[in-house]
Chains A and B, each alone.
Chain A
Amino acid sequence: ILNVEQSPQSLHVQEGDSTNFTCSFPSSNFYALHWYRWETAKSPEALFVMTLNGDEKKKGRISATLNTKEGYSYLYIKGSQPEDSATYLCAARGFKTIFGAGTRLFVKA
């Protein structure tokens, strides 16, 4: 695993908007893809762990998909709320763990 890229770097949306972010990773030597939410002044909180191509996980208004063949994962937030404002990190875990730089989401009420 060499590098994990996340886009966009930051995102400003209005309350109620749906949004999505991308995490791309080298598809070779892939074992698992983790998503985290990191709110200011708090610890990163695990959202999803995904391993299989085509995996789709959901927690409330947040869902994620995984494509291991092309090396990307999408995180979706439906009906964004101000409390969703945070940095969303993805990490590719194999023998080592490589984090992306994160997508900073700002949700305006």
Chain B
Amino acid sequence: KAGVTQTPRYLIKTRGQQVTLSCSPISGHRSVSWYQQTPGQGLQFLFEYFSETQRNKGNFPGRFSGRQFSNSRSEMNVSTLELGDSALYLCASSLATGAPPSSTDTQYFGPGTRLTVL
């Protein structure tokens, strides 16, 4: 079974631009979560999607948004990029057999997208 895939793997943008990152979960997984990792910081929770609905949201400004499609694929968008948005963005999927997803569901992470904002 293929793992979680993220595209693109690397991205360079300039301040003020916007960016869209994509995450394809493991086949059959219904929950997708997004995380940001910056140097010196642990993984910061961005949001979680389940059945095309945003279930949870972390403490990030409204410039960070996301969505989930009917096939569970998810996209994350960052508008008006700032230098501080340079980070590794990870997505993770879980099976989520229950609704809502359980906090005990194992999350499987993708390889991440490394975003550099110049």
Are A49 and B104 also in contact (CB < 8 A) when A43-B111, A43-B112 are?
yes
Number of A interface residues, CB 8 Å?
24
With both beta carbons as reference points, the residue of chain B lying nearest to A94 in the complex is identified as B103
Answer yes or no: A59 CB below 8 A from chain B CBs: no
With both beta carbons as reference points, the residue of chain A lying nearest to B44 in the complex is identified as A99
Highest count of chain A CB atoms <10 Å: which of B3, B44, B107, B110: B107
Number of B interface residues, CB 8 Å?
25
**Pair A99/B42 contact, Cβ less than 8 Å:** yes
Answer yes or no: A74 CB below 8 A from chain B CBs: no
With both beta carbons as reference points, the residue of chain A lying nearest to B35 in the complex is identified as A99
**In the bound complex, what is the Cα–Cα distance between A46 and B104 (angstroms)?**
12
With both beta carbons as reference points, the residue of chain B lying nearest to A31 in the complex is identified as B103
Q: Measured between C-beta atoms, what is the minimum distance from B72 to chain A in Å?
A: 18
**Pair B42/A43 contact, Cβ less than 8 Å:** no
Answer yes or no: A101 CB below 8 A from chain B CBs: yes
Are A96 and B42 also in contact (CB < 8 A) when A34-B107, A43-B111, A44-B90 are?
no
**In the bound complex, what is the Cα–Cα distance between A96 and B47 (angstroms)?**
9
Contact of B103 among A4, A32, A42, A46 (CB under 8 A): A32
Contact of B110 among A31, A43, A98, A102 (CB under 8 A): A43
CB-defined contacts of B111 to chain A, threshold 8 Å: 42-43
Answer yes or no: A108 CB below 8 A from chain B CBs: no
Contact of B45 among A43, A44, A46, A98 (CB under 8 A): A98
**Pair B112/A96 contact, Cβ less than 8 Å:** no
CB-defined contacts of B108 to chain A, threshold 8 Å: 43, 46
- Enumerate chain B interface residues (CB-CB to A < 8 A): 3-4, 33, 35, 40-45, 48, 56, 58, 90, 92, 102-104, 106-112
**6 further A-B pairs in the complex, CB-CB below 8 A; given A43-B108, A96-B56:** A36-B109, A43-B110, A89-B42, A95-B56, A97-B45, A101-B42
